[in-house]
Amino acid sequence: MKILPKGFIKLDQKFHMTANEVANAVDTNDFKTAISLYSEMTQSCLSCHSAYANDRFKNLKTKK
């Protein structure tokens, strides 16, 4: 069994937490917050893929 890096687990947990917050914001019709959180969530995707899947996404770059 492959052990996942702690950094990956941290980013994965943040992604899922933020996805839940997006859903909650949409459920309460708070679309401004939902859009902001969605942006944060997709940035976490880029961060994780850049750090842990760069062999599959060679041209992926995050904003600095």
3-state secondary structure of 1: coil
- What would the pLDDT profile of 9-45 be if each residue is shown by its tens digit? 999 999 999 999 999 999 999 999 999 999 999 999 8
Residues in CB range of 59: below 8 A, 6 or more apart: none
Q: Report whether pLDDT(5) > 70.
A: yes
Number of domains composing the chain: 1
Q: Structure pTM? A: 0.78
**pLDDT at site 61:** 65
Residue 61 belongs to a domain: no
Q: Does residue 35 form part of some domain?
A: yes
* Residue 26 lies inside a defined structural domain of this protein: yes
Residue 53: inside a domain: no
Whether residue 24 lies inside any domain: the answer is: yes
Residue 34 covered by a domain: yes
Q: What's residue 62's pLDDT? A: 58
In a domain, 58, yes or no: no
What contacts 24+ positions apart, CB below 8 Å, involve 39-42? 41/15
Give residue 38's domain range.
6-48
54 falls within a domain: no
